[in-house]
């Protein structure tokens, strides 16, 4: 467990003393994170940026725990989802409540990005649907909502109750993919952000919230109160953004990134120059540079977690064979670890190890245990009894039997377990991008957000090739050792 005590290798150029900005998965949050990070750096303040970290809870918990120093969010989200106190009606009251967590907020940035429900305009007109209430009479419509929206009290849970909706089909999926589903006709109703550029692009009808369920979602930056002492300059930069971004400007920036395919760094830099007169430095990596960086990151995650799993799992498997009283307990525990969904396990690691590479390696380490432990156990157990009886008849000590007979005979089975763990790790490590761990998951995540097949393949193809290389490597090792 030594790596639980170590920090991640600084392969991403991050400075632990720098201000750390985070953002959620969707494009608007990524752009706002870029704007704040570039402005802070322009003031000569070191800043690192974790983009696409996940949903509201991951960002909020990371902020409270000090893993990040600031991130963009929305007043309605904080009131409804985090504080879950609908009695809060003013910004001053909101500030007072979040202060109890050691968090402060900038004044609103200048636009309201509320939730909404939408349909294809042609379908809505055909069915005569104008308001959310009208959906009650059309339970045959297929609803597809972002996974976070489905779980939120200010999302599907609340709106279903408020409007008494009972559709036959409700599906959870990625927000950016929902537009493709709507366009193809596989989904009829989706959740929207009012500043989404896709609303006009896909010719959607935004249904009127005729019962005023959705509150205002004024964009703000949340930041740790102690940041004022550690970097008052960064706080001043964040507060400079208050009132500086209009709804039209935000929609335009979203469209540039999502629809026109522009780099979010460049879009953020252009906004800063146009509105603050500040030229910021933007570094865009070429394909081979991105591949090299992502390969290093992926090998880092997989290599360390696998090596440590081998060090722990093989002795554990041997122990399960030699001590019969704990045999089933050991096998049962590693089996249970394997049944935990990988994304859930990654999230569970955040309170223990923060965000970044360390929690990802911890999760990958736990996932690696089962194949190695089980194969070590079964490899030794499957040795013929006649062989073992002969060894004991010769009077060989147990340590010699283990070293000279059991382990050599079990090597093919043990290596098969290691090979399985390695291949599983290569694939599972792509999810590490959701908590800022980097690797091949980063372009995949960005590709899903931007609906870019080329970006998805930029992560998926190297990951598949790496899995094949890993399998080939262990095939060679097996031939040498056996």
Strand partners, 221: 72
How confident is residue 390, by pLDDT bands cut at 50, 70 and 90?
Answer: confident
478: Cα separation from own chain's centroid: 35
Q: Token pair for residue 154?
A: 């200010």
Residue 17: predicted pLDDT: 64
User: How many other C-beta atoms are found inside a 10 Å radius of the C-beta of residue 114?
Assistant: 18
Answer yes or no: is pLDDT of 8 > 70.
no
Contact 79, 86 (CB under 8 A): yes
Q: Token pair for residue 84?
A: 């879950």
Residues 6+ positions from 440 with CB-CB distance below 8 Å: 294, 295, 297, 298, 429, 430, 459, 460, 462, 463, 466
- Model pLDDT for residues 53-85, shown as the tens digit of each residue: 888 988 999 999 999 999 999 999 999 889 988
Q: Could you tell me the CA-to-CA distances from 88 to 76, 83, 450, 451 in Å, in that order?
A: 10, 9, 35, 37
Residue 373: predicted pLDDT: 95
Residue 339 burial class via C-beta count within 10 angstroms: exposed 0-12, middle 13-18, buried 19 and up: exposed
Residue 440: predicted pLDDT: 94
The number of CA neighbours under 13 Å toward the Cβ of 307 is 7
Strand 219-224 to 70-74 pairing: antiparallel
The CA radius of gyration of the chain, in Å to the nearest whole number, is 26
Q: How far is Cα 384 from Cα 438, in angstroms, rounded to an integer? A: 46
Find the helix or strand (DSSP H, E) in which 22 lies.
strand 19-22
Q: Which of 15-19, 252-256, 318-322, 445-449 comes out lowest in average pLDDT?
A: 15-19
User: Angle CA(464)–CA(468)–CA(473) in degrees, nearest 5?
Assistant: 145
Q: Could you tell me the CA-to-CA distances from 52 to 21, 85, 358, 446, 448 in Å, in that order?
A: 11, 27, 17, 8, 11
Contact 207, 124 (CB under 8 A): yes
User: How many other C-beta atoms are found inside a 10 Å radius of the C-beta of residue 151?
Assistant: 16
Residue 60: predicted pLDDT: 94
Residue 109: predicted pLDDT: 97
Answer yes or no: is pLDDT of 353 > 80.
yes
Please state the rounded mean pLDDT for residues 181-202. 90
pTM to 2 decimal places: 0.82
How confident is residue 15, by pLDDT bands cut at 50, 70 and 90?
Answer: very low
Answer yes or no: is pLDDT of 6 > 50.
no
Residue 341: predicted pLDDT: 86
Contact 116, 209 (CB under 8 A): yes
Answer yes or no: is pLDDT of 481 > 80.
no
Residue 9: predicted pLDDT: 37
- Model pLDDT for residues 336-352, shown as the tens digit of each residue: 988 888 878 887 888 88
Answer yes or no: is pLDDT of 398 > 90.
no
Residue 81: predicted pLDDT: 87
Q: How far is Cα 157 from Cα 209, in angstroms, rounded to an integer? A: 15
DSSP for 404-466 reads IIIHHHHHHHHHHHHHHHHHHHHHHGGGGGGGT--TTHHHHHHHHHHT-HHHHHHHHHHHHHH
Please state the rounded mean pLDDT for residues 21-49. 95
Q: Could you tell me the CA-to-CA distances from 175 to 22, 100, 178, 278, 389 in Å, in that order?
A: 19, 32, 5, 33, 63
In the block, which residue shows the tokens 């080329």? 454
3-state SS class at 249: helix
Q: How far is Cα 432 from Cα 343, in angstroms, rounded to an integer? A: 9
Please state the rounded mean pLDDT for residues 228-240. 95
């Amino acid at each position: 467990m030594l790596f639980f005590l170590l920090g991640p290798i600084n392969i991403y150029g991050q400075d632990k003393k720098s201000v750390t900005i985070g953002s959620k998965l969707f494009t608007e949050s990524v752009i706002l994170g870029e704007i704040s990070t570039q402005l802070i750096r322009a003031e000569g303040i070191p800043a690192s940026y974790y983009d696409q970290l996940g949903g509201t809870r991951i960002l909020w918990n990371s902020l409270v725990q000090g893993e990040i120093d600031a991130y963009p969010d929305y007043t309605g989200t904080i009131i409804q989802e985090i504080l879950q106190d609908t009695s809060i009606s003013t910004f001053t009251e909101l500030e007072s409540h979040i202060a109890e967590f050691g968090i402060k907020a900038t004044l609103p940035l200048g636009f309201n990005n509320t939730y909404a429900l939408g349909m294809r305009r042609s379908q809505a007109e055909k069915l005569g649907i104008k308001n959310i209430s009208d959906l009650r009479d059309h339970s045959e419509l297929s609803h597809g909502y972002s996974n976070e929206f489905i779980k939120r009290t200010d999302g599907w849970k609340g709106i279903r109750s408020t409007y008494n909706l009972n559709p036959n089909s409700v599906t959870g999926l990625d927000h950016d993919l929902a537009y493709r589903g709507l366009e193809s006709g596989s989904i009829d109703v989706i959740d929207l952000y009012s500043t989404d550029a896709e609303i006009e692009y896909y010719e959607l009808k935004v249904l009127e919230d005729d019962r005023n369920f959705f509150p205002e979602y004024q964009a703000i930056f949340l930041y740790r109160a102690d940041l004022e002492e550690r970097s008052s300059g960064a706080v001043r930069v964040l507060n400079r953004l208050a009132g500086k971004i209009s709804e039209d400007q935000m929609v335009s920036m979203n469209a540039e990134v999502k629809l026109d395919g522009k780099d979010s760094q460049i879009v953020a830099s252009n906004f800063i120059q146009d509105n603050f007169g500040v030229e910021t430095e933007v570094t865009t990596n070429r394909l081979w540079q991105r591949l090299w960086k992502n390969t290093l990151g992926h090998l880092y995650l997989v290599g360390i977690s696998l090596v440590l799993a081998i060090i722990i799992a093989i002795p554990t498997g041997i122990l399960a064979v030699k001590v019969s009283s704990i045999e089933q307990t050991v096998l049962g525990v590693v089996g249970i670890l394997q049944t935990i969904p990988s994304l859930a396990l990654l999230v569970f690691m955040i309170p223990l190890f923060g965000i970044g590479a360390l929690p990802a390696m911890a999760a990958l380490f736990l996932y690696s245990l089962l194949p190695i432990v089980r194969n070590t156990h079964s490899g030794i157990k499957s040795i013929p009894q006649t062989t073992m009886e002969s060894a004991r008849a010769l009077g060989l000590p147990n340590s010699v039997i283990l070293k000279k007979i059991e382990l050599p005979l079990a090597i093919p089975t043990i290596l098969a377990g290691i090979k399985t763990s390695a291949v599983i790790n290569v694939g599972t490590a792509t999810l590490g991008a959701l908590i800022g761990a980097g690797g091949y998951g980063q372009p995949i995540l960005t590709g899903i957000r931007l609906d870019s097949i080329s970006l998805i393949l930029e992560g998926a193809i190297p990951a598949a090739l790496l899995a094949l290389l890993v399998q080939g490597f262990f095939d060679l090792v097996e031939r040498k050792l056996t």
